[in-house]
Amino acid sequence: MTRLLESLLPFLNHTAAIGEAVPEGIYPRSVHLIANSIVAMARTNDGRKLAIVAAGEKRLPAGFEGEIVKLSGNECGMISPLSAANAAALRRHFSWCAPRSLRRERTSIGCGDRLGLATAGQLRAVAKFRLAPVLAQQSMRELSLTGRTFRNVVDDATFMVFMEDYRDGYGADGDHLKNLRDIDVALDAGMPMITLDLSEVMNAAAGEWSDAEVGRAFAELPAAERQQALAGYADQNYVIDGMNIAISAADARRCAVMYGRALRFAVEVHEHLKKRRGEEFDLEISIDETTTPTLPSHHLYIARELMLRGVTVTSIAPRFVGEFQKAVDYIGDVDEFARQFKLHAAIARAFGNYKISVHSGSDKFAVYPTVGKETCGYLHLKTAGTSWLVAVEVIARHEPALYRDMHRFAEAHFADMLKLYHITADLSRIPPLDRLRDDQLPALIHDHPDARQLLHITYGPILTGELRERFFAAMRRWEEAYAEALEKHFDKHFSLLGVPRR
């Protein structure tokens, strides 16, 4: 460790310029100057560490913790773990290491990172395109399955942003949150974006009720809500970009019954975010966790009501026609998706000019051209699990024995994970592992939909079970291969969306 720290002294003593001749073991873009000290990210046998050198112990930058090492002359150094305290110190010294609101950014991509390892490869792709990444994005379900916290997720992104010297700003998203308690945990961790999942406060069942049942429930709503629903929507015909959306009186009553409580909760959350963060937050409204697609008339009702109630939303996520299943391309009629998506995008422009958000959006290559075109790039796309699958493919390519163990472990836990994820994988369609050569395994996880879905939803047991240490040790060995594979994978996503290059 002493030798590694001493290799940074030429930068401290100005005999080497930052960015030139970075010594072995130091990540090339991670060397940064703080007053009379150098802070860099180092690769060690025990994983990544912060390496800090200064012209004396009293000149070590404030806030960092770690083992202090005396060096030649009066200099000293510190080998620091990637701890919460050191992540906080980086954010204090380098403001661009902290997540921020992306409300004013045209195109944003929720990259997601279940491992705390994906950001470097994601940023290599992001740097080529005119978009803003949400690098720290996890849901409560993902946190519970991986044993991480929102603080872990933000800190991991902080270290990787510092390592890659990415200064253009990134977001952090507390994904699919349903109550103020969880929202506060995400906010306390420094997450500026909250994806508010309204599924538990929506009355989705009312979508199937008879008009008489809806009428009885409507009569129980507050008088002001009944009056607003009928005056603003009953027997109205909205014309948007030459397209008609007709809303009958029965439709207006149904929307009020289905969404009244959810809209009141959205107002409460919005006011809470303003108290906590002023105007520096991103509120996404999620109405996609339903079994049926969001009707354009319902989308219009929700968007207009949010606007009238003073709720500033950065994005809304409807439930689109067709299937947006995990790990595979779009399932459904692409032409019908394009017809309906065009209308959803027009509603977003007309009632608040917010971004349309596409959830479970990774690998939906068939509809990306439509999504990019109809939104004119004013969109948010969520890609949570695809970076995990790229890691699985890297393991399949470079450590086939480990992949075979992961695959069998996934099969053993598949039934349990099906309780949490909606997919249509059929394991009987996956070729038996003992009939596949090692060189056929990467194609299995890259191209076979059922194998991809199997590994996609079983990440929790793999990352917290008996294979955890072997998996992360392998990822340390193949970190550059992982970064290269991620860069290529996200290049494809951004290109098909039509995101302009820098």
Say whether 37 sits in a helix, a strand or coil: strand
Tokens representing residue 490 in the block = 């996200």
Catalytic residues: 175, 284
pLDDT of residue 443: 98
Residue 237: inside a domain: yes
**Structural domain includes residue 392:** yes
Q: Does residue 287 share a domain with residue 204?
A: yes
Q: What is the pLDDT along the chain (502 residues), one digit of tens a residue?
A: 899 999 999 999 887 788 778 999 999 999 999 988 999 999 998 899 999 999 999 999 999 999 999 998 889 999 999 999 999 999 999 999 999 999 999 999 999 899 999 999 999 999 999 999 999 999 999 999 999 999 999 999 999 999 999 999 999 999 999 999 999 999 999 999 999 999 999 999 999 999 999 999 999 999 999 999 999 999 999 999 999 999 999 999 999 999 999 999 999 999 999 999 999 999 999 999 998 999 999 999 999 999 999 999 999 999 999 999 999 999 999 999 999 999 999 999 999 999 999 999 999 999 999 999 999 999 999 998 999 999 999 999 999 999 999 999 999 999 999 999 999 999 999 999 999 999 999 999 999 999 999 999 999 999 999 999 999 999 999 999 999 999 999 999 999 999 999 9
CATH code for the domain of 238 = 3.20.20
- Do the strands 171-177 and 107-110 form a parallel or antiparallel pair, or are they unpaired? unpaired
pLDDT on residue 111? 93
Same domain? For 326 and 404 the reply is: no
Domain enclosing residue 46, as ranges: 2-93
How would you classify residue 18: left for phi > 0, otherwise alpha for psi between -120 and 50, otherwise beta?
A: beta
Q: In terms of domains, do 217 and 342 share one?
A: yes
Q: Where are the beta strands (DSSP E) in 371-411?
A: 379-382
Note the pLDDT of residue 375. 98
Same domain, 279 and 423: no
Q: How many CB atoms lie within 10 A of CB 432?
A: 6
- 267, 139: one domain: no
Q: Name the residue type at position 302.
A: I
Q: Does residue 48 fall inside a structural domain?
A: yes
pLDDT of residue 42: 97
Co-location of 44 and 136 in the same domain: no
Pairwise CA distance, residues 420 & 481, whole Å: 31
Residue type, 498: G
Whether residue 500 lies inside any domain: the answer is no
Q: Specify whether the CB–CB gap between 101 and 464 falls below 8 A.
A: no
Structural domain contains residue 122: yes
Task: Tell me if 219 is assigned to some domain.
Answer: yes
d(CA 41, CA 25): 9
Residue 456 counted as domain residue: yes
> Which of 176, 192, 208 is where one domain is finished?
192
Residue count (the chain) = 502
360 shares its domain with 326: yes
Sign of CA dihedral 294, 297, 300, 306: negative
Domain count, the chain: 4
Quick one: 313 and 404 in the same domain? no
Summarised one tens digit per residue, pLDDT across range 456-467 is: 999 999 999 999
Domain finish residue from 192, 217, 251: 192
Q: Is 428 in the same domain as 356?
A: no
Burial of 465 (0-12, 13-18, 19+ CB in 10 A): middle
Whether residues 325 and 399 fall in one domain: no
Locate the DSSP E strands across 1-80: 32-34, 37-44, 47-54, 67-70, 76-80
Three-state secondary-structure class, residue 71: coil
Q: Angle between the 400-417 and 449-457 helix axes, to the nearest 10 degrees?
A: 70
- Which position has the token pair 């510092």? 162
Indicate if 233 and 306 belong to the same structural domain.
yes
On whether both 402 and 482 belong to a single domain, the answer is: yes
Last residue of one domain, picked from the residues 72, 93, 114: 93
In a domain, 160, yes or no: yes
DSSP 483: H
